[in-house]
Amino acid sequence: MPDAPAVVRARGGPVPRDDAARNVRLVAVAFGVTVVVTRLYLALTGYPQIGGGEYHLAHALWGGLLLMLGGLTALVWSNRWVPTATAVLVGAGSGLFVDEVGKFITRRNDYFTPLAAPIIYAVLLGVLGVALLARRARLDRPRALAFSVAVRSRYLADGPLRPDDRAALLADLDALEEDRTGAGARPDLVAYARALRPVIAAAPVAEPDHRGRPVVAALRRAETRLVPRWLHRLVVVAGALALGLVSLVGLVVLLALYSSDPDVSIVLDDQVVPRGSRPVMLVVASAGEAVVGLLLLAAAVALLLGRDRVGVRLCRVGLIVALAGVNVALGYLDAELVVVAVVLELALLVVADRYRHRFLLTPP
């Protein structure tokens, strides 16, 4: 008579997904794009109202609908595309909902209240923070490995495994079997891995998908031929100089705030700032912009002198400071300006990161 299986207490703690960071980044992208496109559309069309008369269908309602669809998608289907679809629906729905936060925090339902933009931007930063934490999650523990194996092995139902899925499955099974991750304390998971290995090893493998590779290869060849290092560096220098000089306006404003010259005045949103007053958000935004401007100008100088590593590092630090902090205060002062600033700063960050990957990380 076979021995009865051992009885152990179930472990119900959260287990990180191996694609969690990618999914949450996609939520952040969908959120940001939705807010920018929505505000741009409303500004260009004169802020139309859907419904008319007594009723107004605010876009927060459409956001709630997309959030519900995202949740139902995750609960109903198990296909490979479900996490991507859920992330896009959740990001877009959250963007439409949070974009109207000004109406929910003011008695007069003020969509344009100055506090709305910082709240929206802070939510975006919070989502990106979750993505960063997800990227650092421990995925080499037995339960995380077992969950990853269970999720990936479902793809067998759709036919041949992709080569990357098969490789990842075999690597996770190796880790579960070899006891180096602590799996020895879970003989049931070791047995699970050993039983599943022959199935994965014998499963048919799909042909590698090369459909996008010729396009990528052609783009890289064009980049190499049309954008040599000196031109790429020049683009980064020009962008750092332009944004640095614009950001130095913050230093001018900061000096004006503490100036005793009676002829110096500051106009903010068509209103003159009373002499002697120093609005907190204006001081914070001005000081932050001044720091960003100095960092970007220093980066441009370093790049011009051939100190590429220092220059790119200063450029990235300055842009991250702007994107992760200064723009929150700037959004309180001018919601439209911060949208433009974010787009330009992200564009320069992408260009600088591409320069770093092409010439500073790639071995000669």
- pLDDT, one tens digit per residue, over 199-232 is 999 989 988 777 767 888 888 899 889 999 999 9
99 and 188 housed in the same domain? no
Least confident of 98-102, 118-122, 264-268: 264-268
Give how far Cα 354 sits from Cα of 63, 133, 347, Å.
34, 24, 11
Mean pLDDT of the chain: 87
Task: Look up residue 9 and give its two tokens.
Answer: 């207490």
So what's the pLDDT on residue 183?
A: 46
316 and 298 housed in the same domain? yes
When divided into structural domains, the chain yields a total of: 3
| Residue 1 pLDDT > 60 | no
173 and 295 housed in the same domain? no
- Judge whether 60 and 42 are in contact, CB under 8 Å: no
147 and 253 housed in the same domain? no
Task: Give the number of other CB atoms < 10 A from CB of residue 131.
Answer: 18
Please check whether residue 192 lies inside any domain of the structure.
yes
223 and 357 housed in the same domain? yes
Which residue carries 């998971």 as its tokens? 189
103 and 166 housed in the same domain? no
48 and 151 housed in the same domain? no
Q: For 251-279, what is the mean pLDDT?
A: 66
Q: For 81-86, what is the mean pLDDT?
A: 96
Please check whether residue 1 lies inside any domain of the structure.
no
Q: Return all residues near 161 (Cβ < 8 A) that are at least 6 apart.
A: 155, 169, 200, 203, 204, 205, 206
Q: Return all residues near 207 (Cβ < 8 A) that are at least 6 apart.
A: none
Instruction: Answer with the one of 79, 111, 135 that is the final residue of a domain.
Output: 135
So what's the pLDDT on residue 277?
A: 65
pLDDT 10s digits, 13-30: 888 999 999 999 999 999
Determine the structural domain holding residue 27 and report its residue range. Answer: 20-135
95 and 228 housed in the same domain? no
Burial of 301 (0-12, 13-18, 19+ CB in 10 A): middle
What predicted TM-score, i.e. pTM, was given to this entire model? 0.83
**What stretches of the chain show up as alpha helix (H) in DSSP?**
20-45, 59-76, 82-98, 101-105, 116-135, 142-153, 163-178, 187-202, 213-226, 229-247, 249-257, 280-304, 308-321, 327-333, 335-355
Please check whether residue 11 lies inside any domain of the structure.
no
332 and 224 housed in the same domain? yes
Of 117, 115, 102, 24, whose CA–CA distance to 59 is shortest?
102
